[in-house]
Amino acid sequence: MKSETPATGIMKKAEYSDAVWYEVECECGSKDHYHSIWVEADPDTKSVSVSIATESKTDWWSTTVDQNPRVDNEMVYWIWSWAAHILNETVRRSRLIWNILFRGYVKYDSYVILNRQQALNYADTLHKAVKEVDKER
């Protein structure tokens, strides 16, 4: 298996003489999971740097109260779901606030899932981008 051109799952967002910007999408299809890659040559230090950014979200999947109650009445279900959502969101945010206030940091997990082809494309894109911006000097 070889890397592809154009590469599946890797999008070139912008290109400059000394820098290039890519976005790597997650295989699950969510726009919330991605890597934003910035490869840049610095003429002053004569080095190339690669920045990989991800966006972190709250642990929105965690629940204190079930948001899908087993009730037949549609009105009761709707009110219960709404109240449970508000409560769950309040608990999640309160935990974050508590951790920042008393620990000074918050821990996040962030994932991007790549299939085999994408992983090869990712590696090759990084390899090519570093070479590309490096030859500018």
Site residues for Zn ion per CB under 5 A: 26, 28, 30, 33
Q: Quote the least distance from Cβ 62 to Zn ion, whole Å.
A: 17
Is 41 or 112 the residue whose CB approaches Zn ion more closely? Answer: 112
Task: Give whichever of 16 and 60 is closer to Zn ion, judged by the CB atom.
Answer: 60
Q: At closest approach, how far in Å is the CB of 111 from Zn ion?
A: 6
Of 30 and 73, nearer to Zn ion (C-beta) is 30
C-alpha–C-alpha distance, residues 68 and 72, integer Å = 11
Considering the complex, what minimum distance in angstroms separates the CB of residue 7 from Zn ion?
Answer: 18
